[in-house]
Structure 1
Amino acid sequence: SSSSYQRYDIQQVARWVEQILPFTLLLLVVFIRQHLQGFFVTIWIAAVMFKSNDILRKQTALKGERKMLILVGITILFVVHVSGVYWCYKNGDLIRPLVMLPPKEIPPFWHAIFVILVNDTMVRQTAMIVKCILLMYYRNTKGRSYRRQGQMLTLVEYFLLLYRALLPAPVWYRFFLNKEYGSLFSSLTTGLYLTFKLTSVVEKIQSFFTSLRALSHKDFHYGSYATSEQVAAAGDMCAICQEKMHVPILLRCKHVFCEDCVSEW
């Protein structure tokens, strides 16, 4: 019957897994031993990144109740951590990709992965330093300044996404441009990679420039300044604060509110 065949297939799969699992685990142990330092460094920076992101998120949510001492402390720790990692690998291939230069030598596959992972994590941590400085600068602000803080943090985030998308390019460019595979093959794979990378970066470039334009006084991600006619049509009374409009903003939904009210809202 079909049920007996299914049981037989499951038993065969279980037997195959039982046979191959010890060998797979053995290979994994050997792989970890060969890349022991890189393995533990990757775990360490990932753990630090996870904890740092959690602390920064909590401080951002506190708004005016942020603790300056905590912000200064984590900023110093972030700077020391990033500087320490790059100092430990000052003779490695980590620095050149940061300025969009390919490594001097063709990196082995796992080394290329390591370089990309470390640089990506350190760049994210560096962006956290910038965000901490912004949070300290805008610590006791509200209204228009609070909106500007949000726009600055958004700009930093979109620039980070764009830079992170470009960061692996020098490493993979050098990896694919390997003449040992033949000039035609290496040129073809390199060209295909750069084409794929370009198409994936276009959207991030657009998002970055959109957030950059949002810093202007006439364009916001939630609307624009309302004209006197639009204010008169809305009744010149803010529905949030129940007072006369002050620096009215016309939202995309066509409602008009005070700029400070919208920023806090």
Structure 2
Amino acid sequence: MKLRVQNDRPDSKRALKLRESPAVMQPNPSERGVLAGNGLSLNLQPELLTGTPFTATAAAASNADSSEVRVSMTGASGDSNGGASSRRSRVNSHTHSHAHPHSHGHSRGQLHSNSEPELDPPDPDGDSGEPSASLTELRCLFRWIQKSLPFLVILCAKLVIQHVLGLAVGVGLLTTFLYVNKNIQTQVFLQDRHSKLRCIWLLVFLISSTLLLYYTFLSETLYFSLIFLSPTIEPLGFWEILWAVGITNFIIKFLFMGIKCLILLVPSALVTYRTQGRWLMLTEELGQVHQATAPVPLWFRYLVSYQESDGVSGLTTGVLLALFYLILKLLGLYNQRTSLLKTVRIFLAGEHTGSAATRAQCSEAGDVCPICQGEYRDPRVLICQHVFCDKCIALWFNREKSCPLCRTVITDKVYKWRDGATSPHLQIY
């Protein structure tokens, strides 16, 4: 199609020619001057009109004699009309010749914009780089979670129903541990004012919880794990081993927490506060060693086990994995041995903070302990010359290394197990 567009100004000598087919569209000479400004007058053949949209303000008229269609177009905005009027009023040929191609360019741009569909705006995240890509991935992940949430809820409900007994046992063990551990620390903090009845209740509570658990799973003989034997769990899968190791770990914690309750039941006339702290610290260290060694038979049995279809290769791989596990376990116990030996040394030799304070030093300090705000009982003076009660400063150094008043470092290690606390760490390997 051949298209020729002419401006309606009489002094225009340029024409825009587009060649797309043998048919010719020419402006009607008799209709020039109908539109003002940037108006265009085009004569189109009727068969070429189909499928050629014009979105600008247009008026189409059919000429039956010439079989042509005339389409009149106006400018896209008021600025273009004003620009055309000002250009017609100019007499400078250089300015006119410079503005005339601009007018044709504007008309051609308007025609092009009307004859082609509008493109989509560019994606703002296209050139934004890596942060925007990360945000896009997060949005996709959020959409996936949002769509998959109903299925995840259904799956979790099914898992809870299948393992309701095991989950109930786990929740019960955890709450029992937290409750007893907090109460033991409170009773140790109260020193001579602690309640013997509360200690007895904690001891009975631990014993009853342990017996109830072992009675519930009597057929699995889980108590064998306490004496380094493998329980009768069938089938011996990963989750079964993990569950048995977790229960054994909690039971060992309960056992040594019961020993701490027995230490608290000893009259203070027989056991001083410092001696009580050493016993509590030694008990916790021995409990951690027991927790570290109890899972060894279970994991060794699991690693060595193999299917008959695996043959010799499966047995060889299992033995190698079990030996590698034993080596790692021995290295861990060797590192733990240092802490245990130091605790035993302190337990046997005893440890005192500072030296005994004289009456003059107590008088200079005001005869009032800064910690308990009472009269001195077995006063001790530190290297910084501050005086405290022996029990008060011993309780302080269960958690701190420095003086409570001047923050001078007094000891090189905090023996935190003296306050009766039990480690919440779950030893599962």
TM-score band (shorter)? 0.7 to 0.9
Partner residue of 1:108?
A: 237
Q: For the residues of structure 2 that align with 1:7 and 1:249, how far apart are their CA atoms?
A: 62
Match of 1:134 among 251, 263, 266: 263
Higher relative contact order (CA 8 A, sep 6+): 1
Partner residue of 1:158?
A: 285
Higher helix share: 1
Q: For the residues of structure 2 that align with 1:256 and 1:151, how far apart are their CA atoms?
A: 25
Match of 1:125 among 220, 243, 254: 254
Partner residue of 2:194?
A: 66
Match of 2:325 among 188, 193, 213: 193
Q: For the residues of structure 2 that align with 1:261 and 1:93, how far apart are their CA atoms?
A: 50
Partner residue of 2:177?
A: 49
Query: Is the Cα contact below 8 Å between 1:146 and 1:264 reproduced in 2?
Result: no
1:264 CA drift (Å): 4.3
Q: For the residues of structure 2 that align with 1:238 and 1:147, how far apart are their CA atoms?
A: 22
SS of alignment partner, residue 215 of structure 1:
helix
> How is 1:57-96 mapped onto 2 (pairs within 5 angstroms)?
57-96=185-224
TM-score scaled by structure 1? Answer: 0.79
Decide whether aligned partners of structure 1 residues 198 and 6 sit closer, same or farther in structure 2, where only a CA change above 3 A counts: closer
Q: Deviations over 1:171-192 (max 9, x none)?
A: 1111111122511110111112
Query: Is the Cα contact below 8 Å between 1:239 and 1:257 reproduced in 2?
Result: no
1:156 CA drift (Å): 0.3
What is the count of residue pairs matched by the alignment? 246
Q: Relative to structure 2, which stretch is displaced further, 12-21 or 41-50?
A: 12-21
1:104 CA drift (Å): 4.4
Query: Is the Cα contact below 8 Å between 2:220 and 2:231 reproduced in 1?
Result: no
Q: For the residues of structure 1 that align with 2:236 and 2:336, how far apart are their CA atoms?
A: 27
Amino acid at match of 1:39: L
Decide whether aligned partners of structure 1 residues 32 and 264 sit closer, same or farther in structure 2, where only a CA change above 3 A counts: same
Q: Which runs of 5+ in 2 are unaligned?
A: 1-126, 365-377, 394-429
Query: Is the Cα contact below 8 Å between 1:159 and 1:208 reproduced in 2?
Result: yes
Partner residue of 2:153?
A: 25
Amino acid at match of 1:107: L
Amino acid at match of 1:16: W
1:256 CA drift (Å): 10
Q: For the residues of structure 1 that align with 2:325 and 2:291, how far apart are their CA atoms?
A: 16
Q: For the residues of structure 2 that align with 1:179 and 1:256, how far apart are their CA atoms?
A: 67
Partner residue of 2:136?
A: 8
1:257 CA drift (Å): 11
RMSD: 3.3
Query: Is the Cα contact below 8 Å between 2:245 and 2:298 reproduced in 1?
Result: yes
User: Which has the greater radius of gyration?
Assistant: 2
Query: Is the Cα contact below 8 Å between 1:60 and 1:135 reproduced in 2?
Result: yes
Q: For the residues of structure 2 that align with 1:77 and 1:7, how far apart are their CA atoms?
A: 52
Q: Which runs of 5+ in 1 are unaligned?
A: none
Higher strand share: 2
TM-score scaled by structure 2? Answer: 0.51
Amino acid at match of 2:222: L
Q: For the residues of structure 2 that align with 1:161 and 1:256, how far apart are their CA atoms?
A: 37
Q: Relative to structure 2, which stretch is displaced further, 99-108 or 55-64?
A: 99-108
Query: Is the Cα contact below 8 Å between 2:214 and 2:221 reproduced in 1?
Result: no
